[in-house]
Amino acid sequence: MQKNKTKRNTPAFEAEKSIFATNLRECMKVKGENQTTLAAKIGVKRQTISLYMNGQSSPNTETLTDIANALDVSADYLLGLSVVPLVDEDLNAAHEYTGLSPDALQNIKTWTDSTQAIGHTVYNPVQMLSKLCEHPGFRLFLFDLVAAAHYSNPPEYSYEAFASEAEFRLGADKKAMLATFGINDLINLVAPLNEFFGVVALDNDETAKHYLLSAYDRMKDIMADISKKP
């Protein structure tokens, strides 16, 4: 009779990839804990922590809670039930609602009580951030920043990516017609058309600069609006 597969006889390379083992190792690294120190904090043997880290064993509910408290994370995060390691329920809810990362939310939270004096006026950075987010042009400003970042360090455009884009835009039949062309061949075909019609193709650096200047102009307009006296 074939025995049921258990964690102990699961291959190590598979067990180590388990969600709990992976998140446990990550959180221990962040907190600067090793097997010995964590074991001492929760009252178990070092070998027990080793089994948890290697995915060969899982803690019971009480031990899981102790581990979560020792590492200052949520048990749900350790189990892979939440993508946010924070214990703070308010920050968890904010992450779920906004999609902002835990680090971003924690930064914003610390800014809440900070102020900056300029002349005789005291400003709060979160209040300014709030005004920016309320402005209809702020989304376009962010788009320009995203585009500038993309063109500052663009990913390689592989032939596979081009083929996928061609199929999406042109359909499978026309994609097959282009199968014999490489990216450089197509650039050589398009470049003369650009010159003929007077279209100037910008390189990546120039394009990044273009979007940065656009972002600058948008921010000037936004600041002019939100700085107006009521």
- Tell me the β-bridge partners of 116: 123
**Which pLDDT tens digit goes with each residue over 30-54?**
889 999 999 999 999 999 999 999 9
Please state, in angstroms and rounded to a whole number, the distance separating the CA atoms of residues 28 and 59. 15
Residue 137 pLDDT level (bands cut at 50, 70, 90): very high
Tell which wins on pLDDT, 201 or 158: 158
Please state, in angstroms and rounded to a whole number, the distance separating the CA atoms of residues 45 and 36. 8
pTM of the full structure: 0.51
Assign residue 141 a region (left: φ > 0; alpha: ψ between -120 and 50; beta: otherwise).
Answer: alpha
Token couple for 175: 């994609």
Residue 124 pLDDT level (bands cut at 50, 70, 90): confident
Question: For residue 62, which of 81, 43, 77 has the smallest C-alpha distance?
Answer: 43
Question: For residue 49, which of 63, 37, 39, 64 has the smallest C-alpha distance?
Answer: 39
Q: Say what the pLDDT of residue 4 is.
A: 43
Tell me which range, 92-96, 123-127, 139-143, 181-185, is most confidently predicted by mean pLDDT: 139-143
Q: At what angle do helices 125-134 and 204-226 cross, to 10 degrees?
A: 100
Q: Which residue has the tokens 């097997």?
A: 35
CB 74 within 8 A of CB 67: no
**Which pLDDT tens digit goes with each residue over 174-210?**
767 666 666 566 666 666 655 555 545 567 788 889 8
Q: Say what the pLDDT of residue 202 is.
A: 60
For residue 223, the one-letter residue type is M
CB 226 within 8 A of CB 132: yes
The percentage of the chain sitting over the pLDDT mark of 90, rounded to a whole number, equals 30
Which residues contact residue 57 at a Cβ distance below 8 angstroms, ignoring those fewer than 6 apart? 7, 8, 48, 51
Return the number of other C-beta atoms located less than 10 Å from residue 40's C-beta: 14
